[in-house]
Amino acid sequence: MTASSKHSDATDAKLGKDPVARTPRANGMPVAGSVGGAGGSADAPSGHSATLGGSYLTAEISAGALRHNFAIIRQHIAPSADICAVVKGNCYGHGLATTLELLEELTDCFGVATPEEAIVLRQLGCLRPILMFLPACGWASGQELRQALDRLIIENVMLTLVDADEVHAVSQAARRVGCQAEAHVMVDTGMGRGGAELGQAAALIEMVRNDPYIALTGVYTHFATADEGDLDFAREQLRLLLAVVDSSGGREGLTLHAANGAAMMELPETHLDMVRPGIPIYGYPPSDTLTANWPLRPCLRLTGQLMQIMTVKAGSRCGYGLTYQFERDTPVGLVPVGYADGYLRSLSGLSTMRIRGQDAPTRGRVSMDQVVLDLTHVPAARVGDEVEIISADPASPHSVANLARLAGTIPYEITCRLGRRVRRVLVD
Ligand SMILES: Cc1ncc(COP(=O)(O)O)c(C=O)c1O
């Protein structure tokens, strides 16, 4: 695995030394460089709002919280273990372009899902190793696939291989572009959601090892139940991964990795050479049932402004379907957030927001762009007041975790769905 650099190497990256160029290659073939350079902002609000310079919603991403969470993670893993920061899904909604420079300092490697995510990372100037989790092929064919593989190899993205057809396709692409591809084999040790089949994994590893156009630098698996109370299945998955690797030429030269955030927190024996935390980086525990109680700090705060205030009459209703009826004359305010921004419709009538230091309940249905807030207990509220829609305080009723509970979902969905209309800004 190429991600052997630690914090201090961030200085190199800043000085323009490309960690990619230090990548050891198995057979001395040329090494692809990163195109680097400025790219489009993956987090910019789309279309007109970017043009007009305005955005109704602001997601403040706390640099301090991100630093803190990485420090907590480093405290708990062996000094020899690398961190692969999982930044797929636009950094779980927190904004890749907004956070990348800081994350480059903090992590050793980045984990993404798709070719596009990998290429955007390089376009934004990412110099760290990038591992693409989804299988390299299968998502496209013909010319489209060939072009994508060529580009990924040139950009030195580490590809995930799961079967012999992929090995052939990647090997051919590497030959075409004249530089070695770097790959990890993913083994399905029981999750049943992709990866080399267990019975064929050892042979696949041998095959990749013997391919002169591919450098096999890692083997990994993914846990199905590390975030659930019973960890026996995860332990068995780990045993199977190690058995496969040991039966296929051993661990020499390989980065072995398995731990997602939950396993990282619950099962130290899964740390191996690298951990792959996603949700803990951003400050949320992977589930409610973990025994590990790491003091992570949520790094997201979402705000908007009160757009309009009106008084509705006793007996009147509000929102689509007129699902809520006011018992008395009530001051209400309009908040410019809706399910197009990732504020789930299933929060309708359940959630609160904070305004002028008070928690105010939402009323009626969440629509695409608007929510009605009951201002009965905030008589001083004025148009233009800041409304805190998501709080970074885990104890707040509108923290990511509590909104997830109210909506019957997981924190991942609350943050990942934050839409393109939300402006992301890095704050201290
Ligand atoms: C392969 C892989 N590793 C690690 C992670 C990170 O998981 P988590 O966000 O639960 O820490 C993911 C996320 O789904 C993943 O797909």
pLDDT (tens digit, 9 = 90+) per residue, 413-426?
Answer: 999 999 999 999 99
The CA 290 to ligand 1 mean position distance, Å, reads 16
Average pLDDT over residues 119-137: 97
Catalytic residue among 92, 282, 284, 320, which?
A: 320
Q: Please report which confidence band the pLDDT of residue 42 belongs to, taking 50, 70 and 90 as the band edges.
A: low
88 is catalytic: yes
Checking if the pLDDT of 25 tops 50, the result is: no
In this structure, are 276 and 314 located in the same domain? no
Give 413 Cα–ligand 1 centroid separation in angstroms. Answer: 13
Question: What is the domain-level CATH number for residue 226?
Answer: 3.20.20.10
Of 249, 281, 313, the domain-final residue: 281
The reply to whether ligand 1 has any atom less than 6 angstroms from the CB of 319 is: no
The pLDDT of residue 38 is: 34
Answer with the one of 217, 251, 281 that is the final residue of a domain.
Answer: 281
The 10s digit of each residue's pLDDT in 302-341 is 999 999 999 999 999 999 999 999 999 999 999 999 999 9
Mean pLDDT of the chain: 90
Flag whether pLDDT at 69 surpasses 50. Answer: yes
Average pLDDT over residues 168-175: 98
- Any domain includes 291: no
Whether 202 and 314 map to the same domain: the answer is no
Ligand 1 closest atom vs CA 227: 10
Statement to judge: residues 324 and 264 lie in one domain:
no
Q: Which of 56, 88, 220, 339 is catalytic?
A: 88
Same domain for 209 and 344, yes or no, is no
Whether 276 lines ligand 1, by a CB cut-off of 6 Å, is yes
Answer yes or no: is 224 within a domain: yes
Q: In the predicted model, is pLDDT for residue 41 greater than 80? A: no
What is the residue with the minimal CA distance to atom 6 of ligand 1? 278
361 Cα: distance to centroid of ligand 1 (angstroms): 34
The predicted-structure confidence for 390-399, as pLDDT tens digits, reads as follows 999 999 999 9
At residue 5, does pLDDT exceed 50? no
54 found inside a domain:
no
At 229 the pLDDT is 85
Average of per-residue pLDDT across 389-411: 97
Q: Give the residue from 281, 316, 332 where a domain finishes.
A: 281
Whole-number pLDDT of residue 45: 52
* Ligand 1 atom nearest to CA at 261: 11
Same domain, 250 and 336: no
Are residues 251 and 324 both part of a single domain? Answer: no
User: Using CA positions, which residue lies closest to atom 14 of ligand 1?
Assistant: 278
User: 51 in a domain, yes or no?
Assistant: no
**Do 252 and 338 lie in a common domain?**
no
Q: Whose CA is nearest to atom 4 of ligand 1?
A: 260
Higher pLDDT, 364 or 1: 364
366-383: average pLDDT: 98
Instruction: Determine if ligand 1 sits within 6 Å of the CB of residue 282.
Output: no
Rg over alpha carbons for the chain, rounded to the nearest Å, is 24
Domain containing residue 146: 9-40+63-281
How many angstroms is it from 275 CA to the middle of ligand 1? Answer: 10
Residue 3 predicted with pLDDT over 60? no
Q: Rounded to 10 degrees, what is the CA torsion of 98, 306, 328, 313?
A: -130
Same domain assignment for residues 127 and 242: yes
If you measure from the C-alpha of residue 260 to the centroid of ligand 1, how many angstroms do you get, rounded to a whole number?
A: 5
Does residue 1 form part of some domain? Answer: no
Give pLDDT, residue 54.
76
Within a domain: residue 91?
yes
Asked, for residue 128, whether it belongs to a domain, the answer is: yes
Measured in Å, residue 310 CA sits from the centre of ligand 1 at 45
For residues 306 and 164, membership in a common domain is answered with: no
* Mean pLDDT in residue range 201-219: 98
Residue 286 CA, closest ligand 1 atom number: 10
Residue 239 has pLDDT above 90, yes or no: yes
- Sequence-distant (≥ 6) Cβ neighbours of residue 184 within 8 angstroms: 1, 131, 158, 159, 160, 161, 216, 217, 218, 219, 220, 255
For a substitution probing ligand 1, which of 91, 187, 260 has the most ligand atoms within 8 Å of its CB?
A: 260
Q: With respect to residue 195, please indicate whether it lies within any of the assigned structural domains.
A: yes
End-to-end CA distance of the chain: 33
Ligand 1 nearest-atom number relative to CA 133: 1
Percent of the chain with pLDDT over 70: 88
- Looking at residue 17, its pLDDT comes to 32
Task: Give the CATH number, domain containing residue 328.
Answer: 2.40.37.10
Of 33 and 161, the structure prediction assigns the larger pLDDT to 161
Task: Return the residue whose CA atom lies nearest to atom 10 of ligand 1.
Answer: 261
User: How many structural domains compose the chain?
Assistant: 2
User: Hey, which of 72, 82, 117, 276 would you mutate to test ligand 1's pocket, going by the most ligand atoms within 8 Å of its Cβ?
Assistant: 276
Residues 71 and 214 in one domain: yes
Ligand 1 atom 9 nearest Cα: 278
Torsion angle of the four alpha carbons 338, 342, 344, 345, in this order, in degrees rounded to the nearest 10:
40
Query: Does 401 or 11 have the greater pLDDT score?
Result: 401
CA distance 208 to 26: 12
Looking at the structure, do residues 323 and 263 belong to the same domain, yes or no?
no
The confidence score (pLDDT) of residue 77 equals 97
| Residue 166: pLDDT over 70 | yes
Is any atom of ligand 1 closer than 6 Å to the C-beta of 133? yes
| Confidence band of 292 (pLDDT split at 50, 70, 90) | very high
If asked whether residues 271 and 306 sit together in one domain, one would say no
Q: Is the CB of 260 under 6 A from ligand 1?
A: yes
Q: Does 222 sit in the ligand 1 pocket, CB within 6 Å?
A: yes
